[in-house]
A = this chain, B = another copy of it.
Amino acid sequence: MSTTLGSVVEALGGELVGEASLPISRLAPIASAQAAELAFVAQARYAHQIESTRASALIVPPSLQAVASARGACIVTDDPYLYFARLTQWWRVTHAAVSKPRIHPQALVDPAASVGSGVDVGPFCVIEAGATVADGVRMGAHCTVGAGASIGADTRLASNVTLGDHCHVGERCLLHAGVVIGADGFGFAPHKGRWIKIEQLGAVRIGNDVEIGANTCIDRGALDDTVIEDGVKLDNLIQIGHNVHIGAHSAMAGCVGVAGSATIGAHCTVGGGAIVLGHLALADGVNISAGTVVTRSINKPGHYTGMFPIDDNASWEKNAASLKQLNRLRERLKAAEQAIAQAMSKQE
């Protein structure tokens, strides 16, 4: 499928430099773009790519208009990366296969569930009694919507998504394949060397415009609910423990684990593989680096890291061995300092 540069500008704005009729068959990264493809340059430091790209047209900021238009067509806009994001959305909508929403005959919708209009339910889905599915919701094959659960308007579930009993997902959310919302939180009371289960009687409440990556899990609360606020973005294979609270517009990369009852502020980011221990609080605007274990609450916005620097293995072995002596080294240094002070005082 294909469009023209003029159609793009008509839909999304920006200043068109060049022929509106220029055909655009694909969006492409600037490095690999070919003829009839549209690429973007977000920052002046990538300006050197403009000369070598084969793209037929470029999306550029005003500062690059001169160099870009010297070589061919371009769209000038203040924030090319944002423009590009909106362009992908427009591209998806205009190029998507159109299918009429329907409840697949092989889906099982309990008569005591409430399903809105324009809802698409894939084959082998199960929607249980008391569940509420709002208008425009779409779900792929093999999804389960538990008893009393609810899904807000225009939310999309990919295949194999499990939404537990009485859990709520807001509007315009996107849950990828294999997501599990509302499994039991990990709660046990120790008793004579055994673990006595604490039934998890809370649920999960997810706000609007939340995206949740494939096979990510969000546990239900023990008594109160686990809460994910509006606009949160979670990547794949993330574990969110019971009674966690994630503030609006925070984002987490893949393989993160957040232990029970942690409270994470708004506009935070957590890097891949990081672990946040339980019962901690992170202020708004905290950025945690990949691979970091957060062992204490953080009250100030900022960038925090705890990660052993990578090295060739032989060097690592030496430094790691020394690290196990570090406190001892510190004491030896103190002793050396005192000896020096003593020696110098004698010299005087």
Contact = CB atoms under 8 A, between A and B. Distances in A.
A290 B316 CA distance: 13
A160 B223 CA distance: 25
A138 interface: no
A45 B159 CA distance: 47
B176 A180 contact: yes
A243 to B, nearest CB: 8
Contacts of A305: 310-313, 316-317, 320
A195 B293 CA distance: 25
A43 interface: no
A313 B323 contact: no
Contact of A85 (B196, B224, B253, B323): B196
A296 interface: yes
Contacts of A309: 295, 306, 320-321, 323-324
Given A199-B89, A241-B254, A327 B322 contact: yes
A197 B140 contact: no
A257 B273 CA distance: 7
B214 A214 contact: no
Interface in A271-314: 272-273, 275, 277, 288-296, 302-313
Interface in A229-270: 231, 233, 235-237, 239, 241, 249, 251, 253-255, 257, 259, 267
A97 interface: yes
Interface of A: 26-29, 32, 79, 81-82, 84-86, 88-89, 91-92, 97, 106, 108, 122-124, 126, 140-142, 144, 147, 158-160, 162, 164, 174, 176-178, 180, 183-184, 186-189, 191, 193-201, 209, 211, 213-215, 217, 219, 222-224, 231, 233, 235-237, 239, 241, 249, 251, 253-255, 257, 259, 267, 272-273, 275, 277, 288-296, 302-313, 315-327, 329-330, 332-333, 336-337, 339-340, 343-344, 346-347
A326 B336 contact: no
Contact of A217 (B188, B236, B333): B236
A267 B106 CA distance: 45
Contacts of A162: 158-160, 177-178, 214
Given A82-B191, A186-B236, A257-B272, 20 more contacts: A27-B223, A29-B224, A32-B224, A85-B187, A85-B197, A88-B200, A142-B144, A160-B162, A162-B178, A186-B213, A188-B233, A215-B217, A289-B316, A293-B307, A304-B310, A311-B324, A325-B330, A326-B326, A332-B333, A343-B343
